[in-house]
Amino acid sequence: MIPQDFIQSLLGRVDIIDVIDRHVRLKKAGANYKACCPFHNEKTPSFNVSPSKQFYHCFGCGAHGNAIGFLMEYTGLTYPDAIRELAQQVGMEVPEVRGGPPAQAASRDKGLAERMLQALSYYRAELRKSPEAIDYLKGRGLSGEIAARYGLGFAPDAWQSLKGVFPDYEAEAMKDTGLVIDSEAAEGREGEPARKARRYDRFRGRVMFPILDSRGNVIGFGGRIIGEGEPKYLNSPETPLFEKGRELYGLWQAKRAIRDANQVIVVEGYMDVVALAQHGVENAVATLGTATTPVHVSKLLRLADNVVFCFDGDSAGRKAAWKALEVSLPVLADGKSVSFLFLPPEDDPDTFVRRQGKEGFVEALAGAKPLSQFLVGEIASKVDMGTEEGRARFLAQAKPLVSQIEAPALGAMIRKRLAEMAGLEPGELPGYIPPRVAARPSQSPAPRMVRRPQSLEGQILQRVLRKPALARTVDPDLVGEGSPEGRALHAVLAYAREGEANLTLGQLTAHFDGGEHAPLLEAALGSGRILDEVTEAELDLEAELSGLQEKLALQRSERRKAELEARAMDGGLGEAERAELDVLKASQAAARGANPGLENPPK
């Protein structure tokens, strides 16, 4: 658990303009900065960033948040990792709970990451010394610029070359990097001496491809042998840093291109990724010696609306594509697209792009088969659709797959297509709807929406969010806690009044992130035009708050008057309460003159 006071200090140190400008080019526009939104396609900039509030808001799609939220949304980082990334940028060390497992794991991982970086530096230096490795990369059409961009290196063909890099080569921590292997000891037989356990380098005589996590840290390696030998590709094993089912090769380098194209291409090999980048196709990533997982697909669909799996056209490629389809089904969403490109059987992306160039590859991408077509067509090709028995088998094979699709519109259209092909009505396909979707009550026609006026507490909350320093001008005793808006406003006032005088909106929202009041704050941010074009110099927020507080006080006194009048009708008022009622009537009569909109304030 990262302490809240550290998060506040961190957000006080970072500048959201610098954070976002690393990923999205911002332009000055008055007091704020603008750009085309990185989270949806648009031609006119509607993405605003405020340096004074340390907050961003898109008036097109509604995306908003602080520096932590931006990194999470843009790069796919988790909340703790986004905090660590920001802390690293400003030279702050994230505190951990001393002595506990999280602290021990963080310390261990930091040490392992430093070792991996040392190994990368060594491999890159060795590449410059190896004419054989350089000639191999040139023979594959790779330039020095691409080799440098992807950090390619070379592991010499020696058993213990890393021993010169790591003085503690025999330490247990080296084994956790996955860079070394320990052979097993063996007893001597038939007069032969016993064989001692021996440590040696995992990667030998290979071109090295570093694998980076979402923060750019080296977490593993892939090695491609030069010349003959098996295995052709060798990957790092699972380690405390590296989990194959969660990571993708080349994602760190491809992020900007993925955002720009709103598309990510998934291939099978490291060389495919690098070769595509060499020819200008920079939005490609690769799985790491394992089949595609739901985590892979979910991560990519957060980064782009379109995911294209590119496989060889042989039987192995189609088998891998089907596996990718199966794991994609549960995470599909309406508005997102997953499709499949099958290259000629004699090609892989590397050979295809070298022969056809970027234009040929992009043209092939345009013909990628949507998941729905691949799903239905592949099943239909394995049965006899000309007979009732064949169509029944078709439906039986489709049912366990289609029932995983929780995207409402896409799922409904695929079920309709299945029914048409089988000669049935969609309603005649029981059990094809996911359990969670089927369990939802049927939707009756939506009632006509009646727009409710915003509460005074909500209006005050919007203005305090716009300028947190104004919290000190609001009397918390006027704010009742009988409504969710009142409780949220109370909490915001208490935190802002106790905080620093220059508390920003970014810091304030970080404090309440994930808490009970977060939804109401989100609603206030979404509807309050916190970063609109009206500058604060043109607004008199203090006067607005003063007027709202007067109305709030009048509301309270009106409720008290109504309560006393009801009791008076029952003859239950004492002398002091009758005097109070007279004062309330007189003061409200005067107040209504100044606030005519409150002739009948809410009870």
**Structural domain includes residue 450:** no
Q: What is the mean pLDDT of residues 475-486?
A: 82
pLDDT digits (tens, 9 = 90+) for 274-305: 999 999 999 999 998 778 999 899 889 888 89
Residue 469's pLDDT is what?
86
Residue 598's pLDDT is what?
46
pLDDT digits (tens, 9 = 90+) for 24-76: 899 998 889 999 988 877 889 989 999 989 999 988 888 888 999 998 888 77
pLDDT digits (tens, 9 = 90+) for 130-154: 999 999 999 999 999 999 999 999 9
pLDDT digits (tens, 9 = 90+) for 193-204: 667 789 999 999
Residue 16's pLDDT is what?
95
Q: Do residue 14 and residue 51 come from a single domain?
A: yes
Q: Are strands 199-201 and 180-182 parallel, antiparallel or unpaired?
A: antiparallel
Q: To 10 degrees, the CA torsion angle through 325, 328, 334, 335?
A: -80
Q: Do residue 27 and residue 139 come from a single domain?
A: no
Q: Residue 571 in contact with residue 530, Cβ under 8 Å?
A: no
Q: Residue 528 in contact with residue 466, Cβ under 8 Å?
A: yes
How high is the mean pLDDT of the chain?
85
DSSP string, 547-595: HHHHHHHHHHHHHHHHHHHHHHHTT---HHHHHHHHHHHHHHHHHHHH-
DSSP string, 380-446: HTTS-TTSHHHHHHHHHHHHHHHTT---HHHHHHHHHHHHHHHT--GGG-TT-S-HHHHTSPPPPPP
Q: Residue 89 in contact with residue 67, Cβ under 8 Å?
A: no
**Structural domain includes residue 33:** yes
Tokens 């190896």 appear where?
Answer: 130
**Structural domain includes residue 415:** yes
Q: Do residue 123 and residue 217 come from a single domain?
A: yes
Q: Do residue 516 and residue 428 come from a single domain?
A: no
**Structural domain includes residue 95:** no
Give percent of the chain above pLDDT 90. 47
Round to whole Å and give the CA distance between 202 and 179.
Answer: 5
Residue 436's pLDDT is what?
60
Q: Do residue 273 and residue 388 come from a single domain?
A: no
**Structural domain includes residue 542:** yes
pLDDT digits (tens, 9 = 90+) for 543-598: 888 888 888 877 777 777 777 777 777 777 777 777 777 777 777 676 666 555 44
Measured CA angle at 536 (ends 530, 541), to 5 deg: 85
Give percent of the chain above pLDDT 70. 88
Q: Do residue 371 and residue 284 come from a single domain?
A: yes
Q: Do residue 366 and residue 261 come from a single domain?
A: yes
Round to whole Å and give the CA distance between 382 and 226.
Answer: 41
Classify 167 as helix, strand or coil: coil
pLDDT digits (tens, 9 = 90+) for 96-106: 655 445 545 55
Q: Do residue 259 and residue 355 come from a single domain?
A: yes
pLDDT bucket at 602, cuts 50 / 70 / 90:
very low
Residues contacting 370, CB < 8 A, separation 6+:
337, 338, 339
Q: Do residue 592 and residue 470 come from a single domain?
A: yes
Determine the residue type at 44: T
The domain containing residue 77 runs over which residues? 4-89
pLDDT digits (tens, 9 = 90+) for 507-518: 888 888 878 888
List the CATH number of the domain containing 388: 1.20.50.20
Q: Do residue 331 and residue 386 come from a single domain?
A: no
Q: Do residue 504 and residue 570 come from a single domain?
A: yes
**Total domains present in the chain:** 5
List the CATH number of the domain containing 526: 1.10.860.10
Task: Give the pair of three-digit tokens for residue 46.
Answer: 């509607």
**Structural domain includes residue 131:** yes
Residue 440's pLDDT is what?
52
List the CATH number of the domain containing 338: 3.40.1360.10
Q: Do residue 230 and residue 356 come from a single domain?
A: no
Q: Which of 349, 376, 403 is the last residue of a domain?
A: 376
Per-residue 3-state assignment (H helix, E strand, C coil) for 23-92: CCCCEEECCEEEECCCCCCCCCCCEEEECCCCEEEECCCCCEECHHHHHHHHHCCCHHHHHHHHHHHCCC
Round to whole Å and give the CA distance between 167 and 155.
Answer: 18
